Amino acid sequence: MEKLTSLAKRRGFIFQSSEIYGGIGGFWDYGPLGVELKRNLKEAWWRDMVSGHDDLATLPGAPSPYAMTGLDCSIVMHPQVWKVSGHYDLFHDLLVDCRTEGCKARFRADHIPTSQCPLKPSRHPGEHDKCDLTEPREFSLMFKTNVGALFDPSSEAYLRPETAQGIFVNFKNVLDTTRVKIPFGIAQIGKSFRNEITPRNYTFRSREFEQMEIEFFCHPANSQQWYTYWRDRRFAWYTSLGLRSENLRLRNHDANELSHYSCGTADIEYAFPFLLAGEFGELEGVAHRGDFDLRSHMEGKLVRAGDDFTLELDQQGQPRYVGSGKELSYFDDQRQERIVPHVIEPSAGADRATLAFLCEAYTEDAIEDSQGKPQPRVVLKLHPRLAPFKVAVFPLVKREGMPKIAQDIYRELKRHWNVFYDETGSVGRRYRRQDESGTPFCITVDSQTLENQTVTLRDRDTTIQERVASKDLVALIQEKLTA
Ligand code: ATP
| 3-state secondary structure labels for all residues of 467-478 | EEEHHHHHHHHH
Residue nearest to atom 21 of ligand 1 (CA): 349
Q: CA torsion 86→353→30→20, rounded to 10°?
A: 70
Interval 271-311: pLDDT, tens: 999 998 899 999 999 999 999 999 999 999 999 888 789 99
CA distance 375 to 369: 6
Average pLDDT over residues 57-85: 91
3-state secondary structure 58-122: CCCCCCCCCEEEECCCCCECCHHHHHHHCHHHHCEEEEEEECCCCCCCEEEHHHHHHCCCCCCCC
Distance 285 CA to ligand 1 centre (A): 8
Q: Which atom of ligand 1 is nearest to the CA of 213?
A: 14
45, 352, 354, 357: residue to mutate for ligand 1 pocket, most atoms within 8 A of CB: 352
Q: What average pLDDT does this structure show over 307-317?
A: 91
CATH topology of domain 389-482: Rossmann fold (3.40.50)
By percentage, how much of the chain surpasses pLDDT 90?
76
φ/ψ of residue 135, rounded to 5: -65, 150
CA of 56 to the centre of ligand 1 (A): 33
CA atoms in the 13 A half-sphere facing the CB of 294: 21
Atom of ligand 1 at shortest range from CA of 353: 20
196 lines ligand 1 (CB under 6 A): yes
DSSP state at residue 50: I
CB of 64 within 8 A of CB of 58? yes
The pLDDT of residue 234 is above 70: yes
- Angle at CA 147, nearest 5°, toward 142 and 149? 140
For residues 166-191, average pLDDT: 95
Q: Is 92 buried (19+), middle (13-18) or exposed (0-12) by CB count in 10 A?
A: middle
Atom of ligand 1 nearest to the CA of 281: 3
Of 194, 206, 274, 282, the one to substitute when testing ligand 1's pocket (max ligand atoms within 8 A of C-beta) is 282
| pLDDT exceeds cutoff 90 at 139 | no
> Separation of 205 CA from ligand 1 center, angstroms?
7
Q: Return the pLDDT at 261.
A: 64
Q: CB-based contacts of 56: which residues, under 8 Å, 6+ apart?
A: 65
Residue 268 alpha carbon, nearest atom of ligand 1:
18
160 Cα: distance to centroid of ligand 1 (angstroms) = 13
Q: Render pLDDT for 342-384 as a digit per residue (tens, 0 to 9).
A: 999 999 999 999 999 999 999 999 988 778 899 999 999 999 9
Q: Which residues contact 120 (CB under 8 A, 6 or more apart)?
A: none
pLDDT of res. 250: 96
What number does CATH give the domain 2-84+143-356? 3.30.930.10
Q: Is 190 in the pocket of ligand 1 (CB under 6 A)?
A: no
- Does the beta carbon of 285 sit less than 6 angstroms from any atom of ligand 1? yes
Q: How far is the CA of 349 from the centre of ligand 1 (A)?
A: 7
In the beta sheet, which residues pair with residue 302? Answer: 311
- The mean pLDDT value for 303-331 works out to 92
pLDDT number for residue 157: 96
By alpha-carbon position, which residue is closest to atom 23 of ligand 1?
A: 349
- In 352-409, the DSSP E strands lie at 362-368, 374-380, 391-395
> Position 261: which residue type?
Y
Residue 129 has pLDDT above 70, yes or no: yes
Q: How confident is the model at residue 483 (pLDDT cuts 50, 70, 90)?
A: confident
Ligand 1 pocket, 430 CB below 6 A?
Answer: no
CA of 246 to the centre of ligand 1 (A): 22
Q: In the prediction, which pLDDT does 107 show?
A: 83
Q: What is the pLDDT of residue 356?
A: 98
> Are 481 and 440 spatial neighbours (Cβ–Cβ below 8 Å)?
yes
* Residue 470: closest CA among 401, 420, 408, 424: 408
Q: Which residue has the higher pLDDT, 478 or 104?
A: 478
Q: Please tell me the distance from the alpha carbon of residue 314 to that of residue 46, in angstroms, as a whole number.
A: 42
Record the pTM. 0.93
Q: Which of 86-95, 118-127, 225-234, 257-266 is predicted least confidently? A: 257-266
Please say if the pLDDT value at position 122 is more than 90. no
pLDDT at 445: 97
Hey, which of 193, 211, 268 would you mutate to test ligand 1's pocket, going by the most ligand atoms within 8 Å of its Cβ? 211
Cα(181)–Cα(391) distance, integer angstroms: 43
Going by pLDDT thresholds of 50, 70 and 90, the confidence category of residue 260 is low
Ramachandran angles phi, psi of 82, nearest 5°: -80, -25
Task: Inform me whether the pLDDT recorded for 317 exceeds 70.
Answer: yes
Burial class (CB in 10 A: 0-12, 13-18, 19+), 102: exposed
